[in-house]
Amino acid sequence: MAQLISGKVISAAVKERIAAEVEALKSQGVTPGLAVIIVGTDPASQVYVGSKERTCIELGMYSEKYELPESTTNEELLALVEKLNKDDKIHGILCQLPLPRHLDEKAVIDAIDPSKDVDAFHVQNVGKIMLGDYDFLPCTPAGIMEMLKFSDIDPCGKHCVVIGRSNIVGKPMAMLMLHANATVTVCHSKTQNLKEICRNADILVAAVGRAKFVTADMVKDGAVVIDVGMNRDENGKLCGDVDFASVEPKCSAITPVPGGVGPMTIAMLMQNTLTSAKRTLK
């Protein structure tokens, strides 16, 4: 039976550590502050934003939430970002994606002060990640690396296959695995012989956004499988990109959905906010 890599358990340990550091920072006169911007009423985004706000409060951080109407213009959104850039109480700025179609995501990301870009999406932070000399890491890939470390799974010398090449997960995940001395293959919609490539993976990271896409015939015996997906199956039940029931018996370790990567993403957002706040003391 595969080792279950529980994001709930690991994120609880990470948050306990962060809470202690937040208290120590407060004793020096600094309370880490996170501002979250959400535009429109997308239900999934509302859930994520609510969870981030609750976690801030739980860890003793300062939180501001800006709920903007669907009709918000680029100019209005950029003006809010600029205001938060100048606010000394705010150490992290997060604009919940996706934005409504009429808004320019790239312009908004580029407008966030790189030192407050706790999503690590700004081009300056992306470049630093490429070089391995970074201030922040994207929250989901950082959470995955934390899970592997906590579970005593060392990527060094292993073949890691990442399915998906998004800027949010796939590409930075590949970079972090390279920094950990794994050999990395990135697969995507144009990849040929996908099953064959996946079957060679010691560590398989599924970030494709398709319910139960990864099946048992794509997984090598003894592989570690990390499921980034958050989908609904044919019965409306939450599921990942991996067909857990068929894949789990073949793995040495696997993350569940829900309760796997998801909780880690929020924990690492809090870590980035704490890191930003600590830098103000320098």
- Please list the helix, strand and coil fractions of the chain in percent, rounded to the nearest 5, in that order: 45, 15, 40
Whole-number pLDDT of residue 1: 81
Whole-number pLDDT of residue 234: 86
Whole-number pLDDT of residue 270: 97
Q: Which of 245, 208, 194, 261 is nearest to 1 (CA)?
A: 245
Q: Where are the domains of the chain?
A: 29-115, 139-262
pTM, two decimal places:
0.95
Q: Tens digits of per-residue pLDDT, 145-191?
A: 999 999 999 999 999 999 999 999 999 999 999 999 999 999 999 99
Cβ neighbours of 101 (radius 10 Å): 6
Task: Measure Cα distances from 71 to 47, 101, 102, 202 in Å.
Answer: 21, 11, 9, 47
| Mean pLDDT score of the chain | 95
Q: In the chain, pLDDT over 90 holds for what percent of residues?
A: 90
Domain 29-115 has CATH 3.40.50.10860: yes
Positions annotated as catalytic residues are 52, 96, 119
Q: Which residues of 240-266 are buried (b: 16+ CB within 10 A; e: fewer)?
A: bbbbbeebbebbebbbbbebbbbbbbb
Q: Say yes or no: do domains 29-115 and 139-262 share a fold.
A: yes
Contacts of 271 (CB under 8 A, 6+ apart): 14, 18, 142
Confidence check: pLDDT of 44 > 90: no
Six-digit token pair at 154? 């060392």
Whole-number pLDDT of residue 183: 98
CATH number for region 139-262: 3.40.50.720
Confidence of residue 233 (pLDDT cuts 50, 70, 90): confident
Please tell me which residue, 45 or 202, carries the higher pLDDT value.
202
